[in-house]
Amino acid sequence: MRSRGFTLLEVLVAMAIFAVVSALAYGGLMVVLNQRELGETQARDWRDMQFAMQLISRDLQQLQPRPVRDEIGDRHEPPILARPGAPYALELTRGGWTNPAAQPRATLQRVAYRIEDAELQRIYWPVLDRTLSTAPVVTVLLEDIDRIEIRIMDRQGTWHTQWPPPGLAGESALFTLPRAVEFAIESPRFGRVWRLLETSP
C-alpha cells in the first residue's frame, strides 16, 4: 500500500498559517514587553518624585531659626530665603544633619533648591557660614522639570511669594519663621505635584 505524503500546496499553506500565528504571537509579546517597560519606567519616575518630595518635606519640617553669613561676609541671610529670580528658589537652615562619623561639624545644615538645565537640584554646603571658596554639594533629584513654585505663609495666615516678606526687616527678618510653606513642582511627566508643610509650631 502506498503511503501518501503532503503535497507542496499543503506544506505552503501550513507554513503560511504558522507564519501568521507566529507574527501575531510575536506582536502580542512585544506589546506586553513594551507595556511592562513603560510601567517600570513610570513606577521608577514616581519613586524618584516621592523621594524628592520626602527630602524637601524633611528639610522644611526641620527648619531652624539660625541665620547665616553670606559669601562676602558683610551681612546675614535669614533662616529661610525665597526670592523670585534669585539663583536659588528656596534656601534654608535645617537641623537634624546626622553625623555618624563624629566629624567636627555642626548638626545644622544650609540647603537650597533650584532648577538648572531642567533638573531639580538640591544643594548643601559643608558649613553654615560659607565663603566664596566653599564648594557646594549638588544632587540632582529629578529631570525634565519645568519649574518650582514657592508660597510661604506668615504667622497671620497671609501668603507670600518671597521671604522675608516686604515690610519685615532688621532682627525680625533674621529670626521670624513662617507658619507654613507650599512647595510645588511642575513637569510634563507629573503635571503639578505639591506639598503644604507646617514649618513651626
pLDDT of residue 5: 64
Query: What is the Cβ-side half-sphere exposure of residue 12, based on CA atoms within 13 angstroms?
Result: 3
Domains within the chain, CATH numbers bracketed: 57-141 (3.10.610.10)
Q: Per DSSP, what are the bridge partners of residue 186?
A: 147, 192
- Nearest one of 122, 120, 91, 111 to 186, comparing CA atoms: 120
pLDDT of residue 105: 67
- Kindly tell me the sign of the dihedral angle through the C-alpha atoms of 171, 173, 179, 183: negative
* pTM of the predicted protein model: 0.77
Q: Per DSSP, what are the bridge partners of residue 124?
A: 111, 137
Q: What cell was used for 45?
A: 519616575
Tens of pLDDT along 97-140? Answer: 776 666 666 789 999 999 999 999 999 998 999 998 999 999 99
Taking the C-alpha atoms of residue 150 and residue 145, their distance in angstroms, rounded to an integer, is 15
N- to C-terminal Cα distance for the chain? 100
Contact 90, 98 (CB under 8 A): no
